Amino acid sequence: MKLFCSLPSPFARKVRALAAEKGLALELVEVDVLDPASPVAALNPLRKVPCLVTNDGEAWFDSPLICEWLDARPGPRLIPETFDARMRVKRIEALADGLLDAAVLTRLEGVWPGRTPEQRSTAWMDWQWLKVEGAIGELERHLAARATEGVPPAFFEGEGVTLADLAVASALEWIDFRLPDRPWRAQAPLLATWLARFSMRPAFAASAPVPPKP
């Protein structure tokens, strides 16, 4: 299986970490989706990564769907099979992905070369960041409801690692990596404690963001 991706992509990281937890091998193909000659254009009409191409040549795109496809392969399940547990995990994933959508828009407004400094909108970036703060606040409340004597649980849902954990950790570490001038830990001390512990998990740590190629 090939995963077309950008290594710093948090959505790709979520997929890579899930595959690592399941012991699935992925051949990583680094691409630049802004390049008109990128092979992703022929695989995903949305021209986005990650994009998974299976051994029989079928393309799957959008990280939640790719994770669903991979989780159905042999290995430990990262998405529960029972409906209620599954929906709780998917809800956290949706919150983390929405957080990322807003954080990515915040960054793009600040760095996209198609805009001049005068065209960049601080109000737009602040509006997007308000969504990030809302999501982080909800994640903090979720951990607080499950905390024991002020100590956050090891996992967001249940007693073992799930896609929820991978999605949240990928989102938060991307913010640290790409938006270091946007601190969030003071707002969410339980979430900060949880991330410090979860980020040391070998399967997740191995997928850490890397500096982009010069």
Residue 116 is predicted with a pLDDT of 87
Residue 7 near residue 28 (C-beta atoms within 8 A): yes
Residue 210 is predicted with a pLDDT of 64
> For residue 76, is it within any domain?
no
Kindly state whether residues 11 and 57 are assigned to the same domain.
yes
Kindly state whether residues 63 and 107 are assigned to the same domain.
no
Residue 152 near residue 194 (C-beta atoms within 8 A): yes
Q: Which of 49, 71, 93 lies at the terminal end of a domain, its last residue?
A: 71
User: CB neighbours of 127 closer than 8 A, spacing ≥ 6?
Assistant: none
Q: Exposed/middle/buried for 2, CB within 10 Å: 0-12, 13-18, 19+? A: middle
Domain enclosing residue 122, as ranges: 83-205
> For residue 210, is it within any domain?
no
Kindly state whether residues 122 and 145 are assigned to the same domain.
yes
Kindly state whether residues 87 and 45 are assigned to the same domain.
no
Residue 213 is predicted with a pLDDT of 45
> For residue 199, is it within any domain?
yes
pTM of the model: 0.94
Ranges under pLDDT 70 in the chain: 210-214
> For residue 132, is it within any domain?
yes
> For residue 39, is it within any domain?
yes
Count of domains observed in the chain: 2
Pairing of strands 2-5, 27-30: parallel
Model confidence pLDDT, tens digit, residues 30-73? 998 878 888 988 999 998 999 999 999 999 999 999 999 999 99
Q: How open is the CA angle 188-207-110, to the nearest 5 degrees?
A: 60
